Structure 1
Amino acid sequence: MFNITNHIKKTIVIAFALTVVFSCKNNFDDVKKIGISENAPIGVAENLNLKYTDSGRVTANLRSPKMLDFSNRDFPFSEFPDHVELDLFDDANQKSTITADYAIVYDKTGLIDMQGNVVLASPENDTLFAEQLYYDQNREWLFTNKPVMFKSKGNILRGNMFDSNVKFTQVAIAESKEGVIILEE
């Protein structure tokens, strides 16, 4: 009788221990987030000068006095609240420069959203002025559906939509007073 009671007790203890072990879940990611506000950045960088390279060649240079890192989010991004300058270099090392008051870089999509007094100057002295401009890093494409003014070869074009590659060889401006204007080489 003593062996049966002892065996039942052992079985109950083992069943309880297994229940406790298997009811626990891996919440290490949740533990790492303790003390971090979901609205606060995970990091702050000041006087940033970031260079992007491809096969040893500098393709872009991003400068800003301040960057807020929100890589702890489900859709990670970096925010540049105090001004941003972005130099884009083509295969011939010709530089186009984009400046803006504010920018967000979305890590997963490679999209840069620049806002406020956006100015893009190309090596050919083409200049784009916009309230907002998106740059798709993967496709090397610029676009916006906000009002723009584009100065090119002595012409000034205004519109409410802009779509172009970074070399300005495929430019589309829509909803302009002059009509839709497409410039191609």
Structure 2
Amino acid sequence: MIINKQYIFKNGVIALAMTLFFSCKNNFQEIKNIGVSENEPQGVGIDINAKRTDSGRVVANLMTPKMLDFENRKFGYSECPQGVVLDIFDENNQKTRVIADYAIIYSATDLVDLQGNVIVASSEKDSLFAEQLYFDQNKQWLFTNLPVTYKSKDYLTKGSGFDSDRDFKKAEVLEISGLFAVQED
């Protein structure tokens, strides 16, 4: 009888240990997210001045009063709800400045979505005015399918979209609705 009770007790402990062992799972990600709502940013930055470099040379400088970090989402992004100033530098350190009321930066695609009173001014004094503009950081390309006004040295062009490199050397206004010669005073 004593052997039988020890046998039952021993098997019971083994069964309990096995149950506990197999019920455990890796909850580290869940533990990291405790207290972080899925709708809330994982971080908030104030007075951001971020520089992007390539081979030790600054190629872009992003400035914003507030940045919200949503990199904890499946398709991570950062949001600049209070506007943004983005300076883009070419190989000769010539600056193109982009200003917008709002921006979203998608880290997986390196795409910047600029919205609201978007103004782009190149080092050659060309300017673009739009309500929304995308900047592909990898290709260094600006584009939109919304109405734009593009001012070059000689012309003011209105159209239904825009496609260009960051320096406006390959600038193209899509579906032109107005072309006006600029007169110097």
Give TM-score scaled by structure 1 length.
0.91
Q: 2:77 maps to which residue?
A: 77
Matched positions, count: 179
Structure 1: give runs of 5+ residues left out of the alignment: 180-185
Is residue 160–residue 177 contact of structure 2 (8 Å, CA) maintained in 1? no
Pair 1:105-2:105 in alignment: yes
How far apart are 1:178 and its partner, in Å? 5.2
* Matched AA of 1:19: T
DSSP-derived class of the 1:129 partner: strand
Give the superposition deviation at 1:45.
Answer: 1.3
TM-aligned CA deviation for residue 27 of structure 1: 1.0
Q: Secondary structure at the match of 2:26?
A: coil
Is 1:157 the counterpart of 2:157? The answer is yes
SS of 1:3 mapped into structure 2: helix
Q: Distance in 2 between matches of 1:6 and 1:169?
A: 87
The aligned counterpart of 1:86 is 86
Distance 1:62 1:51 in 2: 6
- The letter for the 1-side match of 2:64 is S
Query: Equivalents in 2 of 1:7, 1:168: separation in Å?
Result: 84
**How far, CA to CA, are the matches of 2:151 and 2:39 in structure 1?**
40
Post-superposition Cα deviations, 1:128-179, rounded to whole Å, max 9, x if no partner, equal 1000000010111111111101111220111111111112222222222259
**Which consecutive unaligned segments of at least 5 residues does structure 2 have?**
180-185
Once residues 88 and 111 of structure 1 are traced to their aligned partners in structure 2, the CA distance between those partners, rounded to angstroms, is: 14
TM-score, normalised on structure 2? 0.91
| Root mean square deviation of aligned Cα | 1.5
